[in-house]
Chains A and B, each alone.
Chain A
């Protein structure tokens, strides 16, 4: 039976929720190829993640080895290629996380095939829909080759432990990770996102946005212009070149609405724009627009939300 292999990323407790979209897409693709979903988990001490993955797949391949502890493309991509061969897979999928984006294309090259990035719909065994040109064009693509490799935009199953084959990091080593410490939900997974743009003028002005963000239990974002200006770290960037978000509520503050920013947030359910320029392009995609300065509007919004919560 042809398999659809899915890279499931582990986070210590189980598999990252970011891997679930890839599993869902794999389920659809498995129907198309009349096959099974096979999860692959790579790392060290990944027992919990492998058990978690088993809930979503017919089979789990666990590559558990100290040499695979760090997510190095050099060591992980060969395991993906190995899993494809071992499972006789028709396809290899993963979510387009920073790890997926780093490793899947390398695995495709090792398998000697092409790849489709950021799949938003499965149309057939080798036919997909994906956005390009900052989301301004939706492509319908067809990919040929022995294995279909694609990244996906966001139980009584036996876990099969696999003997790890040759591991060679090619001299690459992971020196360390400065993790962003945040009590807020992950940008990609938050139900509410509050983003600031160039109009916030300075990094310290983001404090008021943080207050609003925390009040709504959301995640903080920013436009590329605000990141480029050094107001906030680049990992807050929402847009074509940053993160793609689709929360229930997106509040864009002092963001003009450049195409590249819209590409990262226009899938949001409800969009609120606050901008002092009534002609700003952001208002063209906003469900609710408020023409005002952030200096006046954001503190007032915080007060109004507090009042609502107190009454509610």
Chain B
């Protein structure tokens, strides 16, 4: 089982965004791996773990697009346990030059070279919030897709996956043939949410959180490969991997002004009834 997992760095979502003159200033951003991508890495690793006798089987390849600095986040993913990484960099890979369809085209080219059985992505990045890349990648490849996963079970024959997805109406169960593209939601890190039936028994379970890099993992990661690739090497150029959507300007959202504190439940109900007229 070869699994390709996508990783994007995002500015720390807890920090205040700097917006001035219609532009977003990320010069002082503290970068970190997108949380949903961290969950995707955790998912990919679990799908290669807990074989008989505890052995691992399969390969997890992490891929990212962006400047050299992204190597830092990829090194972290290797320290979590991924086997190797690919960093697509160089001209045309700057954040501003890319949108979801451009990223999907780059990933489709990587998939063409790596030929994974499964591609695992986070359902969205918490900067752009677009929630498009996995679906577009599946469309470009002509592969089945399963988005917003709460759980995934790979069949013992390694040919299909049964998943549960979080949809508006509840939880949907879907089966897809491999190779396929999946995107993960928050529930995927549940204790028993992920299992490769070819490896792990029904009783296999993991910690209810994504793993952090151990010291051993960090040491091992130093010896693992991060392969630098350019768009040209992927058979793409600035035109074939160009963004369709361009952000013309940014503005801060209108500030909601804080109201008043009320002293009691009675006062609250009176105000909701007489002043706001909502109850």
* Contacts from A to B (Cβ < 8 Å): 18, 72-74, 77, 97-99, 101-110, 113-118, 127, 131-145, 169-180, 186, 188, 192, 216, 224, 227-228, 234-235, 237, 240-241, 248-249, 258-260, 266, 269-272, 278, 283-292, 297, 300-301, 304-305, 308
Contact = CB atoms under 8 A, between A and B. Distances in A.
Given A105-B100, A110-B139, A177-B170, A133 B245 contact: no
A171 B186 contact: no
B138 interface: yes
B17 interface: yes
Given A139-B250, A300-B265, A175 B148 contact: no
Interface in B177-221: 177, 185-187
Contact of A106 (B17, B136, B256): B136
Contacts of B142: 170
By size class, the interface of chain B is 35 or more
Contacts of A241: 36, 124, 126, 185-186
Interface in B155-188: 160, 162, 165-177, 185-187
Nearest to B141: A109
Nearest to B130: A117
B29 to A, nearest CB: 11
B131 interface: yes
Contacts of A73: 135, 138, 145, 147
A169 B165 CA distance: 18
B99 interface: yes
Given A107-B139, A171-B160, A180 B245 contact: no
Contacts of B147: 73, 101-102
Contact of A283 (B134, B145, B258): B258
B26 to A, nearest CB: 10
A103 B101 CA distance: 14
B114 interface: no
Give the residue among A105, A107, A188, A291 with the most B Cβ atoms within 10 A: A105
B266 interface: yes
Given A283-B261, A284-B256, A290-B264, 12 more contacts: A98-B167, A102-B148, A105-B131, A106-B135, A117-B131, A136-B252, A137-B252, A241-B124, A249-B279, A259-B14, A286-B258, A288-B272
B79 interface: no
Contacts of A289: 258-262
Interface in B11-36: 11, 13-14, 16-17, 19, 24, 36
A142 B244 CA distance: 8
Nearest to B132: A105
Contact of A288 (B136, B171, B260): B260
Contacts of A291: 261
Q: Decide if the interface of chain A is mainly helix, strand, loop or mixed.
A: mixed
A284 B137 CA distance: 40
16 contacts: A105-B132, A115-B101, A115-B130, A115-B244, A137-B252, A142-B246, A145-B244, A248-B278, A284-B256, A285-B258, A288-B261, A288-B262, A289-B258, A300-B265, A304-B268, A308-B269
A235 B166 contact: yes
B68 interface: no
Interface in B234-279: 243-253, 256, 258-262, 264-266, 268-269, 271-273, 276, 278-279
B145 A114 contact: no
A300 to B, nearest CB: 4
B107 to A, nearest CB: 11
B174 A137 contact: no
B129 interface: yes
Nearest to A247: B278
B173 A175 contact: yes
Contact of B253 (A99, A103, A137): A137
A258 B165 CA distance: 25
A177 B167 contact: yes
A224 B186 contact: yes
B101 A114 contact: yes
Nearest to B127: A133
B166 A98 contact: yes
A113 B99 CA distance: 11
Contact of A301 (B14, B150, B268): B268
Contact of B175 (A136, A141, A175, A286): A175
A133 B129 contact: yes
A140 B248 contact: yes
B144 interface: yes
Nearest to B124: A241
A143 B244 contact: yes
Contacts of A169: 144
A200 B186 CA distance: 20
